[in-house]
Amino acid sequence: MSLTDPSGERSLLQAVLQLWALLLGIALLLAGNGLQGTLLGVVAEDSGFSSALTGLVMTAYFAGFFAGSASAERLIGRVGHVRTFAALASLGSIAILIHGMIIDPWVWAGMRFLTGFSFAGLYVVAESWLNRESSNAYRGALLAIYMIITHGSLAIGQGLLNIASTTSLTLYALSSIIISGALVPILLSSAPQPHFTLEIERLTLRKLFSISPLGLTGSFSAGVANGIILGMGAVYARRLGLEVGGVSIFMAATLVGGAALQWPIGRLSDAWDRRIVIAGVAAAAAVIAALLPMAAQQGLMTLTLAGFFAGGLTMTLYPLSMAHTHDWLEVDQMTPASSALVMVYGGGAMLGPMGTGLLMGALGTNGFAWYLVGLCLALSAYAVYRITRRQAPDSTEDYLLAPAAMSAGEYWAETAVEEAGESETDASAP
């Protein structure tokens, strides 16, 4: 396999070799994050946190994620990719240790906010680096490799939950060690970090909704759904009576499903009207979610299979919604639209754990499943409604295995650039 294509540009293989340190660093970060997310859900349940309080703690992560995505590009523009990565990874490493030292819901909420802030920035660093260092010829393939690494590493993190007791500091320390270890390949790599530039045209949410109502609604719904599963899935599994090993298997299955179903559903959406695919996937996710209570009664194997499809289907809703939105955009609108969709996704993700906690408090353990059922049915119905409102686009963009954090912060960073420009204009005015 040649390292360069006929035009002289780098090939996919050469790009992967050039970015090995970044990809390894991300793999370690996500393994550490996957471990701590499930660990905290288990410990919160075992410590007697109420459903609503646990939901609040888990929501704090997504609130921090929202804030971090809004601030990361300012940090990158100020100190560069490598220093931003190092600083945020250090913050994330500190936060998980404090979780282990002080088991208190309000302390945890603050630390979850800090963790979300850190990881949002780390995703922005990684994904902006990947986007800026890849060419159009292989960007999709490179991001697909990135998606496999992220989902695989998160799944590996679930397995690490079984190596020590959740009542000791060991697992917190292990998560901190893994996250700190992610700094080593990044800081020792001789590969140059990318040059940072911002060339973004503003696109308001109102305008984006007028362009693609389903794309915006689907992105928000996907955020809620992923917030439910990733934020409260471990609590749900623990409430069902699963031991720590069973909880880790269930959560790993949702992530493996998220990786495995991306490609076939994406290819299907490239061949059919994407609105039909969104409606079908959301409806199928609702059916699977409705079957979760029965699957739980049949044993771990059946529940794990249901978790695989529940995670797999819901985790395709965001890239489906992004691709559908891009079908209706001009080329110069795509970058700000991606940033706006990330912001909407993050806003939805904050509602996932909190709503789940409240419903589990009111309806019992099955409130987890019914929240997913209601959300997915509503999205499916809205997709069908949108099909009746206008024709499908004449041409479509290729489905992209897009991470939820891709381009996060650029929507906010361009506002900062505008404000800086206005300040300079005011300063120079007579």
For each of the domains in the chain, give its residue range(s) and CATH number, in order of start.
17-420 (1.20.1250.20)
Phi-psi region of 299 (alpha: psi -120 to 50; beta: other; left: phi over 0): left
> Which of 256, 263, 81 shows the shortest CA–CA distance to 153?
256
Q: Which helix (H) or strand (E) holds 72?
A: helix 51-79
> Which of 385, 378, 394 shows the shortest CA–CA distance to 273?
394
Q: How far, rounded to the nearest angstrom, does the alpha carbon of residue 373 sit from its chain's CA centroid?
A: 21
* DSSP assignment letter at 4: B
CB 216 within 8 A of CB 337: no
Position 311 scores a pLDDT of 92
Other C-beta atoms closer than 10 Å to the C-beta of 198 total 13
CB 286 within 8 A of CB 377: yes
Cα–Cα distance measured from residue 30 to residue 114, given in angstroms and rounded to the nearest whole number: 16
Q: Helices 317-326 and 213-239 meet at what angle, rounded to 10?
A: 170
Task: Specify the amino acid at residue 312.
Answer: G
Cα–Cα distance measured from residue 21 to residue 147, given in angstroms and rounded to the nearest whole number: 16
Mean pLDDT of successive 10-residue stretches along the chain, which has 430 residues = 43 75 86 88 88 86 81 77 86 93 92 90 73 58 72 84 88 93 81 56 77 91 92 91 91 89 82 90 96 94 95 89 79 66 82 90 93 96 91 63 44 37 43
Position 408 scores a pLDDT of 37
Cα–Cα distance measured from residue 219 to residue 214, given in angstroms and rounded to the nearest whole number: 8
Residue located via tokens 């609040």? 56
CB 196 within 8 A of CB 116: no
Position 292 scores a pLDDT of 96
Position 325 scores a pLDDT of 84
Position 133 scores a pLDDT of 63
Position 98 scores a pLDDT of 95
Position 316 scores a pLDDT of 87
CB 346 within 8 A of CB 223: yes
Position 104 scores a pLDDT of 92
Tokens of 323: 């691709």
Cα–Cα distance measured from residue 216 to residue 281, given in angstroms and rounded to the nearest whole number: 16
Q: How far is CA 147 from CA 24, 42, 415, in A?
A: 13, 26, 29
CB 258 within 8 A of CB 148: no
β-pair partners for 10 = 4
Residue 394 phi/psi, 5-degree rounding, is: -65, -35
